[in-house]
Structure 1
Amino acid sequence: MQIVNTVDSLRKILKPLSKQGKTIGLVPTMGALHAGHGALIKESVKNCDVTVVSVFLNPIQFGKNEDLDKYPKRLEADAKLAESLGADYVFAPSVAEMYPEGDPLTMVRDESLESMYCGAYRPGHFRGVLTVVSKLFLISGCDHAYFGEKDYQQVFLIERMVKDLNFDIQIHRVKIVREESGLALSSRNEYLSEDERKNALSISLGLRDAKDAYAKGERSVSKLRDIVLKSIIAAHGIVQFVEVVNQKDLQKFSGILGAEDKVVILVAAFFGKTRLIDNIELN
């Protein structure tokens, strides 16, 4: 496996492979790889001739008071993990390599959803995500790209960007990978104290209880939300949002769910200073 640091070098490697008819899979990450990222890499290795894992801590998707400076950085360990799972290349550019003129003037936006849910509390976040992902698509020339469903709103927006902008790329969703306890894997879990980690289980427990209630016939949006809210609050979490939304367009539901409504519950909550997100599809 090879670590590549520049755009030109990666293109020189991948373009000939693409011309040979080899399929290229891309796994975009910000580093601090864990088993959740590993599941994405495995899927790419299984389905593609060549797998590229990007490791780039993208500054334009972080707000002024967010955790850019303390986000875990360990390229050597990330590269070893990627190699052990069968990746062929790790693309690890510098910020100056990706944004040689500073913050880009040309950005990719989704105005209808970028200010909802996570975007409402992280202004500019999804604009930064869509911009860097589109750059990675163009740099790599990938045929397939792999994203985890823990970031449900993010993967939805990327899928819509690919459709709207006619990227010839197939987006693959990979199910949430959880610790044995049920906590969704995240690089930010490293910030949690032992007590905060135990309390954070209330997110997945609340989501599971809501799904169980749905399976037993509960269709009230407010009651399903309350199950999750009460679980988190009882564990001393600070809820940012709990929303029941349509899987097809991410619009909020209210009232009573119909028999044909396909919904997902989206959650963001703080335990200590650590913001965690999670979700569950009900049907």
Structure 2
Amino acid sequence: MANKVEVKELLDAGVHFGHLTRRWNPNMAPYIYMERNGIHIINLYKSAAKMQEAGEALKKIAASGRKILFVATKKQAKEIVTEQAERANMPYITERWPGGMLTNFITIRKAVKKMASIDRMKKDGTFNTLSKKERLQVDRLRAKLEKNLGSIADMSRLPAALFIVDITREHIAVKEAQKLNIPIFAMVDTNSDPREVDYVIPSNDDASKSISKVVSYVADSIIEGLSERKNTKDSDKEDDSNEGKETKTRAPKAKKSKEDVEVPSKDPQDVKAMEESKEDVKLESKKETLAKASKDNQEEE
């Protein structure tokens, strides 16, 4: 189970501050607690409940071994999202959202492969055969690709979910995810429409402290799911190895020796009859030898 969210911690981080009342989205009304000095205040009890719900869902996705893409291109969220996404070993976009990132994923993968091919050129020496101008152009292309797509180099297929900071700013990412039915987890402020998101976390998406609090909780939930996956894999390996040892150490069936073979018991009458027959045979053989000896003596005389 994901860690429990403390309302006091959210209050200290300033998660409850919304936008100006004149810039609000009426669909956020269920998550607004009150209005103060022309600013909407978000209900932190609902925020805490929604954070836990989102954390549980993200934990299950991470435990299944699929990727969650973090998206945050606003200045105050870039460094925080980069740090937390790397901690959770997940891909992220903190520069400009490349159009068709999800809907035209094959082309994006080609650009990532181009980056890998440039690296191979540098290793095998092909890069040094180019002219100075060409080498400069290739270096610039490599730097541009690294800046925009370096963080998703290991993402070989579409992500299982998106975590977005400020859906109003990242509306293109939201539209692409909706088109492909990819679930969206997002920090939603009072000026955004929560209907566009599958898992809403009503919160202040402008303050760095608020962003850090929510994103770190999300990263912790993902890490928990990954550790569960690792533990289950390790236990499965142990079970397999134990089964293998049992089959190897299983003793073969012992063969019965001649001494162990049971000889059926003989009947006493049969034994007596056999002994008598043996005596008769001996007497007959003696008689024959005596008769032969007497015959030989007569012939000699």
Query: Is TM (by shorter chain) over 0.5?
Result: no
Higher relative contact order (CA 8 A, sep 6+): 2
TM bucket by the smaller chain? under 0.3
Structure number with the higher helix fraction is 2
Larger gyration radius, structure 1 or structure 2: 2
Structure number with the higher strand fraction is 1
**With structure 1 as the length reference, what TM-score do the two structures score?**
0.24
**With structure 2 as the length reference, what TM-score do the two structures score?**
0.23
